[in-house]
Amino acid sequence: MLQIADRELPTCKEGEVLVEVKASGINKPDIFQRKGNYNAPKGAPQDIPGLEVSGVVVRCGGEVSRWKVGDEICALLAGGGYANYVAVDERHCLPKPPNLSFLEAASLPETVFTVWHNVFERGQLSSEESVLIHGGSGGIGITGIQLAKLFAKRVYTTAGSDDKCRKCEELGAAVAINYRDEDFEAILKDLGVDVILDSIGGSYFGKNINILNPDGRLIYINTIKGPEVELNLGLIMQNRLTISGSTLRGRSSVFKAGLAKAVEKNVWPLVISGQFKPVIYKSFSYTDVVYAHRLMESGTHFGKIVLQW
């Protein structure tokens, strides 16, 4: 159960800043953690969910070089984001874009870091290629569609209703497929796709393989419909396909620091210029976190759900 409790103020270790949290993004891994299926990595708070926050730096530990008290930031966390205060590695913080509210800024780190690494670093998406983003209405989807639209030739996506598909197209998807009524494999088979970002797994695997162009890349970030699939090695060899995947939460501090630099260099200018815009579906007071989780689990939302402190 999610319950509100008092804890001691976190202490800043060397290289960390203490952040007074203004808003916390909610993500599906928070749901998995609440259910006992996604434990926090060693060193992170084990019973306080939350992978992204925005707020104000109120204290700096030793050896902190970039930030000072009063700086407005947003940050990627391994856990502990559902709290008034959180201590975070200074290298995992980015400046809050001046054109965004704290609510909007808190919705960015987890999804932007995930999409940038998997689609652009791991998937090597280029400007002459097409990409399929499964789950276009969630946090990963709205981020993936917008970023891919800015960097790629053509963006496809799947979503669970006609209304959600229409909104995905407004964000930049050339084709949005209602997976409840349509078969994305049948629609995209003749078009072909160069990169696929999939969080579904299960029965989607074979369909993904069948629509990839030669030298295509299939990237996994979750397996909601199950991790076990049947693999035809002949198709992999014939079409020179690459299958990869990653999880972000347990990666090293050094890796996340490097990823933060890449995001600040490549994505932050697009956010500040307004070319990439956060999509907030609804915000809740932290006292209503149970209702926020129920909304996330319902799947009826389009965009991010955020807690206010």
16-108+249-308 against 113-245: fold identical: no
CB 128 within 8 A of CB 153: yes
> In the numeric block, which tokens belong to residue 54?
């925005």
The span from the CA of 214 to the CA of 291, in Å, is: 45
71 pLDDT above the threshold of 90:
yes
With bands split at pLDDT 50, 70 and 90, how would you rate the model's confidence at 43?
Answer: confident
113-245: in CATH 3.40.50.300:
no
With bands split at pLDDT 50, 70 and 90, how would you rate the model's confidence at 1?
Answer: confident
Beta bridge pairs of residue 20: 56, 85
- Rounded to an integer, the average pLDDT of 43-47 is 88
Query: Which tens digits make up the pLDDT trace of 2-39?
Result: 999 999 999 999 999 999 999 999 999 999 999 998 88
The span from the CA of 228 to the CA of 243, in Å, is: 14
CATH topology of domain 16-108+249-308: Quinone Oxidoreductase; Chain A, domain 1 (3.90.180)
Sequence-separated (6 or more) residues with CB below 8 Å from residue 110? 25, 27, 51, 52, 76, 139, 248
Query: Which tens digits make up the pLDDT trace of 218-233?
Result: 999 999 999 999 999 9
256 pLDDT above the threshold of 90:
yes
- Rounded to an integer, the average pLDDT of 56-63 is 97
Average pLDDT, the chain: 97
Burial class (CB in 10 A: 0-12, 13-18, 19+), 254: exposed
**What DSSP element (H or E) covers 198?**
strand 193-198
According to the 3-state scheme, what is the secondary structure of 237-291?
Answer: HHHCCEEEECCCCCCCHHHHHHHHHHHHHHCHHHHHHCCCCCCEEEEEEHHHHHH
CA-nearest of 284, 285, 288 to 304 is: 284
**What DSSP element (H or E) covers 60?**
strand 52-60
Three-state DSSP at 132 gives strand
What ranges do the domains of the chain cover?
Answer: 16-108+249-308, 113-245
DSSP classification of residue 111: H
249 pLDDT above the threshold of 90:
yes
pLDDT of residue 39: 87
- Rounded to an integer, the average pLDDT of 258-282 is 98
> In the numeric block, which tokens belong to residue 49?
């969910």
